[in-house]
Amino acid sequence: MKYTEEILKRFGQRLRQKRQERGFTREKLVVQMDKLASESSQSQKAPDVSTVARWERGEQCPREFHLWLVCTVLQVTPEELGYPKPIRRWPGDPH
C-alpha cells in the first residue's frame, strides 16, 4: 500500500517535533534507539542518522521494529506521530 506524500510528511513533522520537544538530536535519538535495540530480544539494529532524517523529511516510513524503538525512546504512541500503517505486533508482545 502506498502512502501519500502528505501523510508521510505529516508523520515526519510530528516525529521531528516530538524529538525536539524531548531535547533529542537525531544522533542522540539513534544512540538511545541502538541501546534499546541491543537490549531487546530482536536481532535487528537501530537505524542510522540518515534514515531518521529521511523519516523526518517524509521520504520514508519506519518499519514496525524501528517505530517501536522511536516510540519507546520518545515515549509517544504511533498515533501521536501519525503513523500511517496498522501495527501488527510490537516486539515483546505474545505471539
Model pLDDT for residues 10-69, shown as the tens digit of each residue? 999 999 999 999 999 999 999 999 999 998 877 889 999 999 999 999 999 999 999 999
- Write down the pLDDT at residue 85: 77
* Distance in angstroms (rounded) separating the CA atoms of residues 6 and 83: 12
How many structural domains is the chain composed of? 1
Q: What is the CATH number of the domain that holds 22?
A: 1.10.260.40
- Structural domain contains residue 89: no
Domain ranges, residue 55: 5-78
SS3 of residue 2 by DSSP: coil
- Structural domain contains residue 24: yes
Place of cell 525512546: 73
At a CB cut-off of 8 Å and minimum separation 6, what does 79 contact? none
